A = this chain, B = another copy of it.
Amino acid sequence: MSTSPIRLRDVALAAGTSTKTASRVINGDARVAVDTRKRVQEAVDSLGYQVDLMARSLRKGVDDTVGIVVPTIGDPFFAKAIEEIEQMALPRGINILVASNSRDPHLERKVVDGLLARRVAGLIVTPFSTDYSFLERVSTPVVFLDRHPEGINVGAVIVDDEGSAHRIVMHLASFGHRRIALLTDGLTVKTSRLRREGYLRAMGELGFPVEVELQATGCVDAAQAEACTNHMLDLPVPPTAIFSARSETSLGVVRALHLRGRTDIAFVSFGDFATADVLNPAVTVIDHDPRVLARKAMEMLSERLDGTLPSADDFVIPVELIARGSGELPALRAAS
């Protein structure tokens, strides 16, 4: 037997006031007599009244929610980011709507529109590849996470993708590697492009030949990365070092290397992952922490929600290279 829901007018009736006064009490308006306030409070408690957030949001014009759009929710990187945002939103009474663009540019636009139609208070988006200029005619505050979007210049929280990739290559080179392979997601993804640019710049500066067969640029998930790694290891002259541009792809690389027992090949991952430090050798990574990015993104969004300055500058989170062993394996003299 479901009890009929309690509405504000029921509370007002019980407290002997108008709905307006009851509303004031609930919203903490000071202009209510202590006595009246108490009566309303009691009515609320005894009836178990709960505000209908739907109705409130309609009236106010915005919903107390933040929408999050990521490529894939199950990716631990994004899962951690979502967690961080949710934790920050909780004390503010803000709920989180999550949606994935499923790595589909067409869907991406639809998903964002759907969230806007819901009148979310703000959005945090990791763009996949859509042109986001349509957001310019929208008043909803948006912060971009991990990637700078196309077609619009607003604030994004990012890391130095190009520079960090450059650094990884330099690191590997310092251990004698020349044949350094690159695995990235599709190049429609901005971070993939930037990391590849850093790779190419470093290779160029070092005077190393850049070979097409050492670049796998379409690894969308761990399985594909594993396949690509296997393919590279089967080359007549295989790479002596591998640079995986994403933690998801790193899982595939790790699987390929370990199942083949090729733990002699140097390996650096852009992004940490769960068992990276217990593998043998432990995996050297760029500490690309989703929580830190997410926290900053939510801070920026909060400022905009509070109407503070809408500084559209990007915020660059510093990252570090954590040497654990796999990235410091020396290159063997002339491969087998």
The reply on A20 being an interface residue by CB < 8 A is no
Determine the chain B residues whose CB is within 8 A of the CB of A86 once the complex forms.
73, 98-100
Interface residues of A in 97-156 (CB under 8 A from B): 97-100, 102, 113-119, 137-139
The reply on A34 being an interface residue by CB < 8 A is no
The reply on A167 being an interface residue by CB < 8 A is no
Whose C-beta in chain B lies nearest to the C-beta of A95?
B97
Q: Are A3 and B274 in contact (CB under 8 A)?
A: no
Select which of B87, B99, B113 is within 8 A of A96 by beta carbon. B99
A79 CA to B86 CA in the complex, in Å? 13
A51 CA to B139 CA in the complex, in Å? 16
The reply on A251 being an interface residue by CB < 8 A is yes
Q: Are A98 and B99 in contact (CB under 8 A)?
A: no
Binary B-proximity of A212-256 (CB < 8 A = 1, otherwise 0):
000000000000000000000000000000000000000100110
- Central interface residue in A52, A58, A117, A275, by most chain B CB within 10 Å: A275
A contact patch SS: mixed
- Central interface residue in A84, A96, A273, by most chain B CB within 10 Å: A96
Q: Are B97 and A97 in contact (CB under 8 A)?
A: yes
The reply on A186 being an interface residue by CB < 8 A is no
Select which of B50, B74, B93, B118 is within 8 A of A95 by beta carbon. B118
Determine the chain B residues whose CB is within 8 A of the CB of A96 once the complex forms.
97-99
The reply on A82 being an interface residue by CB < 8 A is yes
Whose C-beta in chain B lies nearest to the C-beta of A3?
B137
The reply on A279 being an interface residue by CB < 8 A is yes
Interface residues of A in 1-58 (CB under 8 A from B): 1-3, 50-55, 57-58
The reply on A65 being an interface residue by CB < 8 A is yes
The reply on A76 being an interface residue by CB < 8 A is yes
Interface residues of A in 148-198 (CB under 8 A from B): none
A50 CA to B3 CA in the complex, in Å? 34
Known: A73-B79, A73-B82. A98 touches B98 (CB 8 A): yes
Q: Are A74 and B65 in contact (CB under 8 A)?
A: no
The reply on A302 being an interface residue by CB < 8 A is no
How far does the Cβ of A74 sit from chain B's closest Cβ, in whole Å?
4
Q: Are A114 and B95 in contact (CB under 8 A)?
A: yes
How far does the Cβ of A119 sit from chain B's closest Cβ, in whole Å?
5
Interface residues of A (CB under 8 A from B): 1-3, 50-55, 57-58, 63, 65, 72-76, 79-80, 82-84, 86-87, 90, 93, 95-100, 102, 113-119, 137-139, 251, 254-255, 258-259, 273-275, 277-280
A-B contact pairs, 17 of them (CB 8 A): A2-B138, A50-B113, A51-B117, A53-B117, A58-B58, A72-B83, A73-B79, A79-B79, A82-B98, A86-B100, A87-B100, A90-B99, A97-B98, A98-B98, A254-B275, A274-B275, A278-B279
Shortest beta-carbon contacts, A-B, top 10: A79-B79, A74-B83, A2-B139, A73-B83, A258-B278, A275-B275, A74-B80, A50-B117, A53-B118, A54-B58
